[in-house]
């Protein structure tokens, strides 16, 4: 297996800060040469599954997100997961719980003849599926535009600031460091509480032209402006202005897909938690500060809080479950080990 060094980790972190930062700038920030950084990027692309993707911000996409848990016979689970991973309306397709459960995020349109078609029609008719539960994603406390700390821990604050200033990325929510503050009782690193829903400005809704641009960036967010122009039937200057405008509006964000095993992660698990509603916000805000978690989100259903834990080994997960996440307001936790990821945010890994 490929072993990452400090330069590799720095490159991954730099791409998380600004996916489109010029390699000349990245190399200068990392204290390397442009040729070396380009060579490392190509190696990570070929051997580590590194992909830099662009995704619509949830509030701008005009879609709903559902965590769907499917129970299937072991002999059919793989084929069902592959089929789900290849759909454009899915992300984070995983096989869990001994190979009999598939968990995926499904993106649905709120209105129209095909609204919720996958949930209401396609999945129930699929042979081999013996059980379905759907959990509407209500609020993301950590994840999405905010990068998991294990993937964004190689650069210091000055390096991050220089990347943002010189690449034009701005102070967007791309790393956990950008969303931390001094916590009560002097404990550093607590997530800044999300604003009240009524305090949020109305979201910018993507147009058809915006979606065309995002489609071109979905597989490779580092595609050149000339190639973006060709893909969208526009000009390089127009797509450059449009992309800058979408970034300024917070209508899209960039993500980095890479094999977590290369970052020292050998155990991954989804944690389905039941929390009293009066304590849900406080528990979720506290969990969002935990370095072991890549996602913390509130959902509907009998378990109303879900988190994704990434740990070095089984003992590390055990310590986390018994010492950090064992909070009194959490009435129940179901731990579902992830056996295989078929699709990340946008990258399909079915080979």
3-state secondary structure 132-183: EEEEEEEEEEECCCCCCHHHCCCCCHHHHHHHHHHHCCCCCCCCHHHHEEEC
Report the C-alpha gap between 89 and 346 in whole angstroms.
10
Quick check: helix, strand or coil at residue 12? Answer: helix
* Per-residue pLDDT tens digits for 292-325: 999 999 999 999 999 999 999 999 999 999 999 9
Quick check: helix, strand or coil at residue 87? Answer: coil
Taking Cα atoms as reference points, which of 60, 251, 347, 256 lies closest to residue 243? 251
Report the C-alpha gap between 53 and 216 in whole angstroms.
10
- For 24-127, strand residue ranges (E) read 51-56, 64-72, 90-96, 101-108
- Please report the pLDDT score of residue 192 as a whole number: 37
Quick check: helix, strand or coil at residue 195? Answer: coil
Q: Is the predicted pLDDT of residue 113 greater than 70, yes or no? A: no
* Per-residue pLDDT tens digits for 118-169: 665 677 677 788 889 999 999 999 998 888 888 888 999 999 999 999 977 6
Contacts of 283 (CB under 8 A, 6+ apart): 273, 275, 305, 327, 329, 330
The overall average pLDDT reported for the chain is 88
- Cα diameter, the chain: 57
Contacts of 292 (CB under 8 A, 6+ apart): 309, 310, 311, 316, 320, 324
pLDDT-derived band at 186 (thresholds 50, 70, 90) equals: very low
On whether the CB atoms of residues 254 and 223 are closer than 8 A, the answer is no
Residue with the two structure tokens 């600031």: 161
Q: Is the predicted pLDDT of residue 178 greater than 50, yes or no? A: no
Phi, psi of 23 (to 5 degrees): -60, -25
Give the CA-trace dihedral at 71, 298, 261, 41, to 10 degrees.
Answer: 120
Give the CA-trace dihedral at 340, 343, 344, 349, to 10 degrees.
Answer: 80
Residue with the two structure tokens 């690193």: 189
Contacts of 226 (CB under 8 A, 6+ apart): 236
- Please report the pLDDT score of residue 66 as a whole number: 94
Report the C-alpha gap between 125 and 130 in whole angstroms.
10
* Per-residue pLDDT tens digits for 34-51: 999 999 999 999 998 899
């Amino acid at each position: 297996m490929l072993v990452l060094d400090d330069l590799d980790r720095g490159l991954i972190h730099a791409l998380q800060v600004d996916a489109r930062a010029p390699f000349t700038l990245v190399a200068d920030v990392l204290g390397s040469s442009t040729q070396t950084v380009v060579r490392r990027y190509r190696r990570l692309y070929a051997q580590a599954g590194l992909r830099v993707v662009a995704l619509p911000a949830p509030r701008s996409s005009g879609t709903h997100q559902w965590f769907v848990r499917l129970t299937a016979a072991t002999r059919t689970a793989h084929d069902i997961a592959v089929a789900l991973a290849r759909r454009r309306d899915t992300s984070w397709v995983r096989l869990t719980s001994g190979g009999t459960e598939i968990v995926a995020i499904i993106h649905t349109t709120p209105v129209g003849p095909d609204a919720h078609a996958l949930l209401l029609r396609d999945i129930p008719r699929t042979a081999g599926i013996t059980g379905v539960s759907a959990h509407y994603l209500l609020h993301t406390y950590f994840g999405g535009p905010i990068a998991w700390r294990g993937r964004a821990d190689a650069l210091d604050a000055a390096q991050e600031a220089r990347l943002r200033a010189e690449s034009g990325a701005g102070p967007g929510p791309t790393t956990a460091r950008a969303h931390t503050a001094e916590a009560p009782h002097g404990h550093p690193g607590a997530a800044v509480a999300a604003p009240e829903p009524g305090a949020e400005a109305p979201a910018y809704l993507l147009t058809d032209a915006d979606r065309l641009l995002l489609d071109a960036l979905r597989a490779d967010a580092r595609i050149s402006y000339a190639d973006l122009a060709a893909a969208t039937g526009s000009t390089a200057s127009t797509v450059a202005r449009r992309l800058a405008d979408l970034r300024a509006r917070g209508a899209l964000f960039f993500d980095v897909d890479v094999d977590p095993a290369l970052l020292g992660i050998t155990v991954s698990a989804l944690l389905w938690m039941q929390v009293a509603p009066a304590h849900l916000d406080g528990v979720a805000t506290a969990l969002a500060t935990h370095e072991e978690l890549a996602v913390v989100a509130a959902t509907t259903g009998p378990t109303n809080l879900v988190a994704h834990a990434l740990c070095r080994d089984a003992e590390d997960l055990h310590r986390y479950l018994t010492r950090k996440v064992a909070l009194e307001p959490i009435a129940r936790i179901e731990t579902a080990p992830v056996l295989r990821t078929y699709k990340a945010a946008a990258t399909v890994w079915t080979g």
